[in-house]
Amino acid sequence: MSNSPQQWLQAFTGGFIATLLFHQGVLALFWLAGLIPAAPWNMTPVPPLGIPQVLSLAFWGGVWGIPVWWLIRRWQGIRHWLGALILGAIGPTLVAMLLVFPLKGLDVNATKVVGGLTVNGAWGLGLAAWMWLNRSRWQN
């Protein structure tokens, strides 16, 4: 298995795209079902750079794609997909709920934890799918 810069760029790109399609796609389903008040793909500028919120989120999804991919990259079959689902769900949700939410003064409750695990698990599957589809670009 290669450790090339292309592999890590693919992991970042996969995490970025998985945020836009899978994470935000599940948020869209929640929003359409009336389960959450905020619409997905939020284009509101956020500090400090004033870029759209969804692009900031996608950037961090790309950053998360690198360590998650590093952990699951050698796993095959169901282990690959379950690993992506579980690591994608737990890692970003823990950081969001224990670090980001308190820093932003947001409350943490069971509904937000379950929602976070769901959208971030979908993100992990999106990352795994991207890497699986692009495996010929980074494998030996």
Tally of domains within the chain: 1
| pLDDT score of 1 | 44
Q: What is the pLDDT of residue 4?
A: 82
Mean pLDDT, range 130-136, rounded to an integer:
85
User: Whole-model pTM?
Assistant: 0.91
CA 86/CA 96 separation, integer angstroms: 16
pLDDT (0 to 100) of residue 6: 86
Q: Could you tell me which residue, 28 or 1, shows the higher pLDDT? A: 28
Mind listing the pLDDT tens digit for each residue in 20-60? 999 999 999 999 999 998 999 999 999 889 999 999 999 99
Residue 43: give the domain boundaries. 5-138
Instruction: Quickly list H helices, 19-108.
Output: 24-32, 53-72, 77-95, 101-104
